[in-house]
Each structure stands twice: as structure tokens, then as C-alpha cells.
Structure 1
Amino acid sequence: MAKNKKTFSTSSSGSLTPWLGIAAVIILLDQLTKITISKLFTYGEELYVTSFFNLVLAHNRGAAFSFLQNESGWQRYFFTAIGIGAALYIVYLLKKHAGQRMFCWALALILGGAVGNVIDRLIHGHVIDFLDFHWRSLGHFPAFNVADTAICIGAALFILDELRRVNR
């Protein structure tokens, strides 16, 4: 009697649980770092770490790179709604494509980052940023956080996964 062999499938096989676990770890790391920085720093306070990196407590009421930062406050609700909608759609995609490892890694990182920033908007009305990179006379890159880092890594993995898929 032959045993049934399980084959790796890139369709909908697989569990949603590991991907939600990855997202949960990102959310936890993001929130713990933001709580720590908020307790140790006052708004705008900087700590020199290296010639190209500081820790700073910054608040971003806008989106990436402080887009719409100086608006009247409507952006809080707009970006919160976008974040929640994106999170729901990502969970749907994770469930549908749970067997596609790199695709789901990308989605899980993006999900964790999006939810981390939505939590900030709901609790504080802004996103807490604290990682400040700069280079000599070129100035400072906009401050960011663990959630933003996870979103960027997830986006890079998503592009890499798509390029791999196209080259097959």
C-alpha cells in the first residue's frame, strides 16, 4: 500500500497561523520599542548614537515621509481607515495564498507594520517615530520606527517574489 505524499503547493494550502504569528511579533516589537522611547525621551529629544544615527522621539500625524503631516487632523482617520482596510485585505490574501512562503512573509511583515501604526493613530492620534538616520550635509532622513521597517522589508520581499514569479 503506497503512502500519500504531500507535495508543496503554491496555491491555498497551508495554515494562516504562522503568518499571523509573524505579524503579531512585529506588532509586539513595534509597540514595545515605541513605549520604551516614549518613557525615556521627551518629544523632540535626541540621543547621539553614531555619526549617522540618532534616537529621537518624533510624532508623525501624516503618512510615510511625513506626507500630509501638517493637515488639520482629518488624516488621522483617513490613514487609520486605510490601515484597517489594508489589514483586512492582507488577512484575506494570507488565507487564500498561505502556501506561498515569500509572498506570505511579505504580507505578514506589511500586516504587522500596518497594524502597529494603526494602534498608534488610535491611541495617540499620531505615529511614534524614533529611528533617525542622517549623513553629513545631506541632512536627516525622516524618522521612522519598527513598523515602518517591517513594511519596507515586506514591500521589498513582495517585489522580489513577483520578479521570481515572472522569471519562471
Structure 2
Amino acid sequence: MMFWGAFWAFLLDQASKYLVIHWMGLSQRQSIDVLPPLLNFRYGENTGINFGLFDGGEDTARWVLIGLSLLICAVLAIWIRRSHRRARWMALAAGLVIGGALGNVADRLLYGYVLDFLNMSCCGINNPFVFNIADVFIFAGAIGLILFDRSAKKPA
């Protein structure tokens, strides 16, 4: 279950980036309004982590982030295999985190930065940040790991 979650998360992330950034030409157009203001495509090159944190643009930071991402994926996979063998939902959640992280690693290896394109705003609030499908899978997987962890101590 973990493998397939990672596989599909990675594939959908990379396919969405190819479709929107290259096929639809977002890298040249910079902006495509899909369902404004709720959903827009805005081109972004993220050399840091979420919301541009640690955005130094240095090549050393790029390789540190690649290494850190791979280390987290390995530790997560080992933890799930050892302690949650039969927990299908935990394995799927871990797979989503791993697939999303590997999608962003692939971007860093191919381009030197993570391609972001999703922008969502609502209710008079203009959100300046962009993200990608990998980020959605990482977030959903992290929530799943919290919700489906049966080994967590229940409140008395």
C-alpha cells in the first residue's frame, strides 16, 4: 500500500506539473485564471521549503534539502514497515508523504528548484503563495499519519 501511494502521488504530481507548466505554457504566461479567485495557476520557482522558507537560492541549500527529503522518506518507510505492518491506512498515508516528497526532489534535481503553480484565494483574502500537487499529498499524508496512528496513546 505504501509503494502504490508513493507511486501514484509522485506520478500525479509530475504529470500535473508537466501539463500546467509546460503543455499549458504557464512558465511563459506566468498566470492563468481558472476559477478566480478560488483557483488560479501562478508560476513559481521555490528554492526553499514551504512558503519560501530557507530560500537562499544557493546550490548547497538545494543539495541539503534533497538529502534531507530522502532521509525523511527512508526513515518514514522504515518506521511504517516496522511498527505498522498491517495498518493499510498508515501505509497509504506514508506513501503519500513519500511520493510527494520525491516529486519535489525530482524537481530539485531536474530544475534546481521546485515548480509551484496552484494559488487559491477566497473571501476577500488574497493569498500570495503558490504550491503544487506534491505539497497537497505531503499535507494529506501527514494528516493521515496522525489520524490513523493506532499506536498513539488515547486520552484517559
TM over 0.5: yes
Given that 1:43 and 1:58 are in contact with CA atoms closer than 8 Å, whether structure 2 keeps it comes out as: no
- Give the number of equivalent residue pairs: 151
1:23 maps onto 2:12 in alignment: no
Instruction: Output the CA distance in 2 between the equivalents of 1:52 and 1:100.
Output: 36
**What per-residue deviation string (whole Å, max 9, x for no partner) do you get for residues 94-124 of structure 1?**
3222312232222111111111111111111
**With structure 2 as the length reference, what TM-score do the two structures score?**
0.86
The 3-state SS of whatever aligns with 1:131 is strand
**Structure 1 range deviating more: 87-96 or 132-141:** 132-141
1:159 maps onto 2:143 in alignment: no
What corresponds to 1:38 in structure 2? 21
Given that 2:9 and 2:134 are in contact with CA atoms closer than 8 Å, whether structure 1 keeps it comes out as: yes
Deviation at 1:158, TM superposition (A): 1.5
Distance 1:30 1:71, change over 3 A: same
What corresponds to 1:58 in structure 2? 44
Cα RMSD for the two superposed structures = 2.1
Instruction: Output the CA distance in 2 between the equivalents of 1:163 and 1:93.
Output: 14
The 3-state SS of whatever aligns with 2:27 is coil
**With structure 1 as the length reference, what TM-score do the two structures score?**
0.80
Instruction: Output the CA distance in 2 between the equivalents of 1:98 and 1:22.
Output: 15
Identify the match of residue 47 of structure 1 among 22, 26, 32.
32
The 3-state SS of whatever aligns with 1:59 is strand
What corresponds to 1:109 in structure 2? 96
What corresponds to 2:58 in structure 1? 72
Between the aligned residues of both structures, percent identity stands at: 26
Unaligned runs of 5+ residues in structure 1 are 1-17
Tell which structure's C-alpha radius of gyration is larger. 1
